[in-house]
């Protein structure tokens, strides 16, 4: 029985191939053996189309590009006949090019003298057509035929309504590499065809291709005589950008469904994120640049708060799956980072502006090629790649906060460059004091002379706070040189904002049972100025088998705070007091990194090197107290603390090297095995120094002590007369330390394509930690601490591929978490940020962690996913905060190894386009009836998406029955019992809108002491929104709204308020201008 198919290919659409002009791209329907309704019926020429036989007269010929497939393979030997005349035969690629007469013609495809397809064809003189024919597997079925045509570049004639999408704007580039699925070898001579375009491409010897296309969505077909043909729907080309689509082809004769096409992606886009996540060796969650931009997150910490299972502590540190921040490890393009934190090795993630990041990956299951201090999870920061074409852009923003902007805020006299986040020297320690190790070694007269050199600046005033402001500039380009491509990328960003906060701060004493008695009751009013300055300079060079890059990254992040605290103080006989704080905190990160990749036939090499420093300068932290008298007046309280001024400097320097070698061991059809081995070296030195000075007025200044601020009685002439000046620096205010960690690993990567993958390996690390704390000049000398150790860390990650779109992962691994340097010294040390006293523990041991993961993943399309997983972590010798009594009312913080701890949890994540409401899932029934219905026919629905995640966590740590902690068994500090994120977004051609909701459940803030209950952060609901409008190609404006619900953030103890404040609603208006 002969299968024939006749129709008139006269469908015409303007500008957009699959929607109205300007419409956003739609998700293509999956391929089917059945023709679409448009292709299944003969369609007469429409008078409205302006295309009739009269105007389609024979003249200049039409150009026809024909490709024929059968069972996924190209079909050769098929004749093309037009009006009975033979115009050629398809070649081994199933392709044929011919100039055919224009006008209305009978087109017949013939194989073995039998007609396969008969078409009633209408063409214009000089137009170009492309025809893709898929022959049916059974004679009774109809062939699938896709016809696309351009006429003068303004109108397109097609059979299907979702073949391609043209958008306004410049053309884009599509690049990638095509390799064999069974061996990974590059495929040369593969030909790529794009529905609706006469343009095609052919891969080179390295399997690479590059083609420029008008912006839009395309159906891509890849043909090679030795491999099964691949088809990929909804390949999007972005105006003025490069899109990458890497493709694997199966050998001819194998089922096409056994292999996968990697979804095309734009750097940092949803598609690229899901591709990386899907192909990862272990359990991983990623947030890309596109998601960060849509939610308006300004730094890495804010963005991570939307990742499944993560919360952010103190706005800086990531808590992964309820594990304290000390169990989180961070890398920068694969290299470890220095930390400016004075007592912790973890990196404050709010230092990293979102604008310089391509993506942030949170790896939750361990693999042996990662550092052994993976701990509870790894945060991998990746910077933007070198651009392929020259570009430049400027962005400016201004912002508003409902509690701050145009409101009175607190301030004091600072420096002329405060707005940049740099102190101009106004807060520097006087040179005479800086030149002495300790002023206590000098005479009284010498000390007083130096004390008189300190700036007399203490007065707190009010000022109207200005709007938030920001500026960023980014640009780069690439050019050909020495047979390769050289590129550069540079960025600069500056931001400043002011925030007021009025906060309740209370403490309680135990009254027996569950009753608490109010002890201290304060109200804090503070104004913070946040200023950040960042720059990135990246260079890259790429040849066929070699890629080199360099990244220089600088960040300066500053907080200037002015704070007034008033209330009843139980330690001051319940007197009403007023404390003032003036502080300035600069954190700086400077990193230089070089990386290289070399791809040879027999081995792949990757290497990286980094040197960097993290520093903190907190110059001239000033505190003083006034006490209210019965007549409501205030008097300065000079005993016991007087006026204090503190100076802290911390310097953390690191260097690191890493090498990864991948060797193909077995590469055959149906099985592939690679060996991966490598090593790393990491060295760190850290120094921290704090100096403390006190001015104490005598009783002779009784009248002056009623002055509103200390400036009146701290005049230089009073120092040494009626004011005593002393240095109160303690020996324990200084410490130094060194760390050295060397590691090597061996891994095997075993793959049965589209069946299963197993990555198994082991890592060996040697670690040396040494710390030195200066104990003082009373004869005790320096107090050392530290340890040496070796760890063997195995890991196994297994993935089972369940069909083409689903997979199941199982992972097991062992990791460690080592102490901070200062925790290893038996000396007492003081946290310069909070003033809390800590005592180290020379017997502290690294914590050992055994992790288990099981996760199911489903990727219905390149931008949709559904995952569900469970996890468990068992800790041996977990490092936990312990509390020891210090006198009758004080607590000394320490650290110790608890007996054990465990964390279990459930994670669910999903993202879907709302076109599912009318198309159903997997081609199933439509949820809202036929496409012609109100919902099904709404174009806006195809441009909307919803995504969200939920996490449920339970943890318990068992502490020794010592100290003053109320409970020996409690949750891990910072662990939230549940976390929810939900986003609803619209992605239009010129309009984008995102609504983002976040809820973090109850979490332990601080353990209770001396029979008092634990202190918890209460659940909080946050709602943010962003809107972007592309005015024209070069100009985008937008609005970001944060904290729309403006909830009260409460910390409670036994149901009573411990701390409480509101953050206010914030709005940012921004403008992005593309210069070229």
518 falls within a domain:
yes
Q: Are 306 and 998 in contact (CB under 8 A)?
A: yes
Averaged pLDDT for residues 678-696: 92
- At 79-125, the pLDDT tens digits run 998 888 888 899 887 888 888 888 777 788 998 888 888 876 777 77
527 falls within a domain:
yes
Q: Express the helix, strand and coil content of the chain in percent, nearest 5 each.
A: 10, 55, 35
Q: Which of 491, 487, 471, 470 is nearest to 479 (CA)?
A: 487
* Ranges 388-402, 583-597, 717-731, 1059-1073: which has the least confidence: 717-731
Please tell me the distance from the alpha carbon of residue 366 to that of residue 739, in angstroms, as a whole number.
Answer: 22
What pLDDT is attached to residue 932?
A: 38
Please tell me the distance from the alpha carbon of residue 866 to that of residue 274, in angstroms, as a whole number.
Answer: 11
Q: Write out the H or E segment, with its range, that includes residue 155.
A: strand 155-158
> Quick one: how many helices (H) and strands (E) in the chain?
8, 61
Please tell me the distance from the alpha carbon of residue 984 to that of residue 815, in angstroms, as a whole number.
Answer: 37
Peptide bond preceding 24 in cis form (omega within 30 of 0): no
Query: Which residue bears the tokens 């002890």?
Result: 519
Q: Does residue 566 have a pLDDT over 60?
A: yes
* Ranges 206-210, 239-243, 596-600, 870-874: which has the least confidence: 239-243
Q: Write out the H or E segment, with its range, that includes residue 431.
A: helix 431-434
Averaged pLDDT for residues 364-385: 90
Q: Does residue 316 have a pLDDT over 70?
A: yes
Averaged pLDDT for residues 940-949: 84
Query: Which residue bears the tokens 């036994």?
Result: 1054
- In this prediction, residue 484 has a pLDDT band, given cuts at 50, 70 and 90, of confident
Spatial neighbors of 357 by CB under 8 A, at least 6 apart, are 268, 289, 292, 300, 303, 381, 382, 383, 384
249 falls within a domain:
no
Q: Are 374 and 815 in contact (CB under 8 A)?
A: yes
DSSP state at residue 241: S
Question: What percentage of residues in the chain have a pLDDT greater than 90?
Answer: 40
Q: Can you tell me whether residue 717 is helix, strand or coil?
A: helix
Averaged pLDDT for residues 191-217: 81
Encoding tokens for residue 207? 């399997």
Higher pLDDT, 477 or 885: 477
Q: 87-125 burial string, b = 16+ CB within 10 Å, else e?
A: bbebeebbbbeeebbbbbbebbbbbeeeebbbbbbbbbb
Domain boundary among 110, 127, 158: 158
Higher pLDDT, 1010 or 593: 593
Report CA-CA distances (Å) from 859 to 271, 634, 794, 801.
Answer: 11, 67, 29, 11
DSSP state at residue 640: S
Please tell me the distance from the alpha carbon of residue 243 to that of residue 232, in angstroms, as a whole number.
Answer: 14
At residue 843's C-alpha, the angle toward residues 838 and 847, to 5°, is 90
* Ranges 417-421, 571-575, 597-601, 800-804: which has the least confidence: 571-575
Please tell me the distance from the alpha carbon of residue 753 to that of residue 672, in angstroms, as a whole number.
Answer: 8
- In this prediction, residue 293 has a pLDDT band, given cuts at 50, 70 and 90, of confident
Averaged pLDDT for residues 611-630: 92
Q: What value does the mean pLDDT of the chain take?
A: 81
Please tell me the distance from the alpha carbon of residue 245 to that of residue 781, in angstroms, as a whole number.
Answer: 63
Spatial neighbors of 1031 by CB under 8 A, at least 6 apart, are 990, 1037
- In this prediction, residue 889 has a pLDDT band, given cuts at 50, 70 and 90, of low
Q: Are 891 and 883 in contact (CB under 8 A)?
A: yes
- In this prediction, residue 313 has a pLDDT band, given cuts at 50, 70 and 90, of confident
Beta strands in 357-483 (DSSP E): 357-363, 377-383, 391-401, 408-411, 461-464, 468-481
327 falls within a domain:
no
85 falls within a domain:
yes
* Ranges 368-377, 504-513, 868-877, 1042-1051: which has the least confidence: 504-513
What pLDDT is attached to residue 974?
A: 83
- In this prediction, residue 138 has a pLDDT band, given cuts at 50, 70 and 90, of low
Domain boundary among 158, 191, 207: 158
* Ranges 41-50, 125-134, 172-181, 666-675: which has the least confidence: 41-50
What pLDDT is attached to residue 263?
A: 35
Q: Does residue 554 have a pLDDT over 90?
A: yes
Higher pLDDT, 7 or 930: 930
At residue 124's C-alpha, the angle toward residues 120 and 127, to 5°, is 110
What pLDDT is attached to residue 347?
A: 82
Q: What is the domain-level CATH number for residue 102?
A: 2.60.40.10
Averaged pLDDT for residues 921-940: 45
775 falls within a domain:
yes
What pLDDT is attached to residue 166?
A: 38
The long-range contacts involving 224-227, CB below 8 angstroms and separated by at least 24 positions, are: 224/74, 224/93, 224/187, 224/189, 224/190, 224/191, 224/249, 225/74, 225/92, 225/93, 225/252, 226/251, 226/252, 227/180, 227/187, 227/190, 227/251, 227/252
What pLDDT is attached to residue 252?
A: 60
Q: Does residue 710 have a pLDDT over 80?
A: yes
Q: Does residue 228 have a pLDDT over 80?
A: no
CA dihedral 1009, 1014, 1015, 1018 (to 10 degrees): 180
- At 234-253, the pLDDT tens digits run 677 777 777 778 888 877 64
Please tell me the distance from the alpha carbon of residue 445 to that of residue 428, in angstroms, as a whole number.
Answer: 22
- At 511-541, the pLDDT tens digits run 776 789 998 899 999 999 999 999 999 999 9
Q: Which of 647, 649, 630 is nearest to 688 (CA)?
A: 649
- In this prediction, residue 776 has a pLDDT band, given cuts at 50, 70 and 90, of low
What pTM did the predictor assign?
A: 0.74
> Which residues lie across from 828 on neighbouring strands?
839
Q: Does residue 1 have a pLDDT over 50?
A: no
777 falls within a domain:
yes
Max mean pLDDT among 338-342, 617-621, 709-713, 966-970 falls in 617-621
Please tell me the distance from the alpha carbon of residue 933 to that of residue 920, in angstroms, as a whole number.
Answer: 14
Q: Does residue 266 have a pLDDT over 60?
A: no
Domain boundary among 123, 158, 193: 158
- In this prediction, residue 918 has a pLDDT band, given cuts at 50, 70 and 90, of low
Averaged pLDDT for residues 209-219: 82
Q: How many CB atoms lie within 10 A of CB 424?
A: 12
* Ranges 642-651, 694-703, 821-830: which has the least confidence: 821-830
Range of the domain at 17: 12-158
Q: 165-196 burial string, b = 16+ CB within 10 Å, else e?
A: bbbbbeebbbbbbbbbbbeeebbeebbbbbbb
Averaged pLDDT for residues 137-162: 53
Please tell me the distance from the alpha carbon of residue 455 to that of residue 444, in angstroms, as a whole number.
Answer: 20
Q: Are 144 and 134 in contact (CB under 8 A)?
A: yes
Averaged pLDDT for residues 473-484: 87
Please tell me the distance from the alpha carbon of residue 1069 to that of residue 1054, in angstroms, as a whole number.
Answer: 42
What pLDDT is attached to residue 21?
A: 30
Q: Does residue 32 have a pLDDT over 90?
A: no
* Ranges 299-313, 450-464, 897-911, 1045-1059: which has the least confidence: 299-313
Q: Does residue 686 have a pLDDT over 70?
A: yes
What pLDDT is attached to residue 713?
A: 87
Please tell me the distance from the alpha carbon of residue 515 to that of residue 511, in angstroms, as a whole number.
Answer: 5
Please tell me the distance from the alpha carbon of residue 658 to that of residue 763, in angstroms, as a whole number.
Answer: 14
396 falls within a domain:
no
The total of structural domains in the chain comes to: 2
- At 1017-1037, the pLDDT tens digits run 999 999 999 999 989 888 999
Q: Which of 497, 628, 521 is nearest to 575 (CA)?
A: 628
Higher pLDDT, 608 or 511: 608
Q: Are 774 and 735 in contact (CB under 8 A)?
A: yes
Q: What is the domain-level CATH number for residue 675?
A: 2.40.170.20
Distance of CA 643 to the CA centre of its chain: 43
């Amino acid at each position: 029985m002969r299968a024939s198919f006749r129709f008139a290919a006269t469908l015409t659409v303007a500008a957009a191939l699959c929607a109205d002009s300007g419409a956003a791209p739609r998700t293509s329907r999956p391929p089917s053996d059945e023709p679409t309704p448009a292709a299944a019926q003969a369609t007469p020429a429409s008078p409205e189309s302006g295309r009739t036989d009269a105007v389609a007269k024979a003249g200049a010929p039409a150009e026809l590009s024909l490709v024929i497939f059968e069972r996924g393979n190209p079909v050769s030997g098929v004749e093309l006949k037009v009006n009975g005349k033979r115009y050629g035969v398809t070649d081994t690629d199933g392709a044929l090019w011919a100039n055919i007469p224009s006008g209305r013609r009978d087109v017949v495809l013939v194989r073995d003298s039998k007609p396969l397809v008969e078409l009633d064809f209408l063409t214009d003189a000089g137009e170009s057509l492309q025809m893709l024919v898929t022959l049916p597997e059974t004679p009774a079925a109809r062939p699938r035929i896709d016809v696309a045509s351009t006429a003068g570049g303004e109108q397109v004639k097609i059979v299907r309504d979702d073949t391609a999408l043209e958008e306004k704007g410049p053309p884009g580039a599509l690049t990638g590499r095509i390799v064999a699925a069974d061996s990974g070898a590059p495929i040369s001579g593969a030909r790529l065809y794009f529905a609706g375009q006469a343009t095609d491409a052919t891969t080179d010897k390295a399997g690479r291709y590059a083609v420029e296309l008008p912006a839009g969505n395309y159906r891509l077909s890849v043909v090679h005589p030795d491999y099964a043909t691949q088809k990929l729907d909804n390949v999007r080309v972005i105006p003025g950008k490069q899109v990458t689509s890497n493709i694997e082809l199966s050998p001819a004769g194998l089922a096409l469904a056994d292999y996968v096409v990697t979804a095309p992606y734009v750097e940092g886009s949803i598609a690229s994120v899901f591709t990386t996540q899907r192909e990862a060796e272990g359990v991983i969650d990623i947030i890309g640049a596109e998601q960060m931009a849509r939610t308006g997150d300004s730094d890495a910490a804010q963005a991570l708060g939307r990742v499944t299972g993560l919360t952010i502590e103190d706005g800086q540190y990531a808590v992964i799956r309820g594990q304290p921040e000390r169990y989180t490890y961070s890398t920068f393009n694969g290299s470890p980072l220095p930390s400016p934190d004075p007592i912790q090795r973890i990196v404050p993630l709010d230092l990293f502006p979102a604008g310089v990041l391509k993506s942030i990956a949170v790896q939750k299951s361990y693999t042996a090629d990662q550092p052994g201090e993976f701990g509870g999870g790894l945060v991998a920061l990746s910077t933007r790649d070198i651009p392929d074409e020259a570009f430049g852009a400027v962005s400016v923003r201004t912002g508003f906060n409902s509690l701050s902007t145009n409101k009175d805020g607190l301030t004091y006299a600072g420096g002329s460059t405060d707005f940049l986040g740099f102190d101009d020297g106004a807060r520097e320690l006087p040179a005479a004091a800086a030149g002495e190790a300790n002023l206590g070694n000098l005479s009284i007269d010498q000390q007083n002379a130096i004390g008189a050199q300190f700036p007399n600046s203490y007065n707190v005033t009010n000022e109207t706070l200005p709007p938030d402001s920001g500026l960023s500039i980014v640009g780069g380009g690439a050019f050909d040189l020495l047979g390769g491509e050289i590129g550069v990328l540079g960025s600069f960003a500056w931001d400043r904002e002011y925030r007021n906060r009025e906060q309740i701060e209370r403490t309680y004493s135990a009254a027996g049972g569950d009753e608490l008695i109010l002890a201290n009751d304060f109200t804090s009013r503070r104004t913070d100025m946040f200023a950040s300055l960042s720059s990135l300079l990246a260079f890259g060079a790429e040849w066929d088998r070699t890629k080199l890059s360099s990244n220089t990254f600088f960040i300066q992040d500053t907080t200037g705070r002015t704070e007034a605290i008033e209330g009843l103080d139980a330690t001051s006989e319940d007197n009403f007091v007023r404390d003032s704080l003036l502080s300035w905190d600069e954190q700086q990160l400077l990193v230089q990194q070089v990386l290289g990749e070399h791809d040879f036939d027999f081995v792949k090499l990757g290497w990286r090197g980094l040197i960097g420093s993290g520093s903190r300068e907190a110059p001239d932290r000033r505190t003083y107290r006034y006490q209210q008298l019965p007549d409501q007046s205030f008097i300065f309280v000079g005993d016991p603390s007087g006026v204090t001024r503190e100076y802290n400097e911390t310097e953390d320097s690191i260097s690191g090297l890493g090498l990864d070698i991948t060797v193909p061991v077995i590469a055959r059809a149906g099985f592939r095995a690679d060996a991966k081995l490598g090593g790393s070296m990491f060295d760190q030195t850290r120094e921290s120094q704090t100096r403390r000075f006190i001015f104490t007025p005598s009783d002779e200044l009784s009248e002056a002590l009623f002055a509103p601020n200390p400036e009146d009685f701290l005049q230089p002439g009073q120092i040494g007369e009626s004011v005593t000046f002393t240095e109160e620096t303690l020996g324990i205010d200084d410490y130094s330390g060194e760390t050295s960690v060397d590691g090597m690993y061996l891994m095997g990567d075993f793959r049965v394509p589209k069946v299963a993958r197993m990555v198994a390996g082991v890592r060996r690390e040697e670690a040396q930690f040494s710390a030195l704390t200066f104990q003082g000049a009373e004869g005790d000398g320096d107090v050392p601490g530290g340890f040496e150790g070796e760890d063997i860390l195995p890991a196994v990650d297994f993935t089972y591929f369940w069909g083409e779109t689903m997979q199941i992962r199982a992972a097991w691994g062992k990791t460690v978490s080592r102490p901070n340097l200062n925790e290893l010294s038996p000396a007492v040390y003081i946290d310069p940020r909070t003033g809390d006293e800590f005592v180290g523990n020379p017997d502290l041991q690294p914590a050992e962690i055994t992790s288990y993961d099981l996760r199911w993943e489903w990727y219905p399309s390149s931008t949709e996913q559904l995952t569900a997983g469970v996890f468990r972590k068992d800790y041996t010798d977990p490092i936990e905060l312990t509390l020891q009594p210090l006198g009758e009312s004080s607590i000394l913080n320490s650290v110790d190894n608890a007996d054990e701890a465990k964390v279990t949890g459930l994670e669910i994540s999903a993202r879907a386009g709302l076109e599912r409401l009318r198309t159903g899932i997997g081609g199933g029934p439509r949820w809202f009836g036929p496409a012609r219905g109100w919902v099904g026919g709404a174009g806006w629905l195809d441009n909307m998406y919803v995504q969200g995640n939920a996490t449920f966590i339970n943890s318990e740590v068992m502490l020794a029955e010592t100290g003053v902690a109320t409970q020996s068994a409690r949750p891990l500090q910072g662990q939230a019992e549940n976390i929810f994120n939900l986003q609803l977004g619209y992605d239009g051609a010129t309009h984008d809108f995102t609504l983002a909701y976040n809820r973090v459940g109850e979490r332990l803030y601080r353990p209770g002491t001396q029979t008092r209950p634990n202190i918890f952060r209460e659940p909080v609901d946050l709602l943010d929104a962003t809107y972007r409008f592309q005015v024209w190609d070069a100009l985008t404006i937008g609005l970001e709204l944060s904290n729309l619900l403006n909830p009260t953030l409460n910390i409670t103890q036994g149901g009573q308020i411990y701390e409480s404040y509101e953050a206010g609603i914030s709005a940012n208006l921004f403008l992005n201008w593309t210069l070229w």
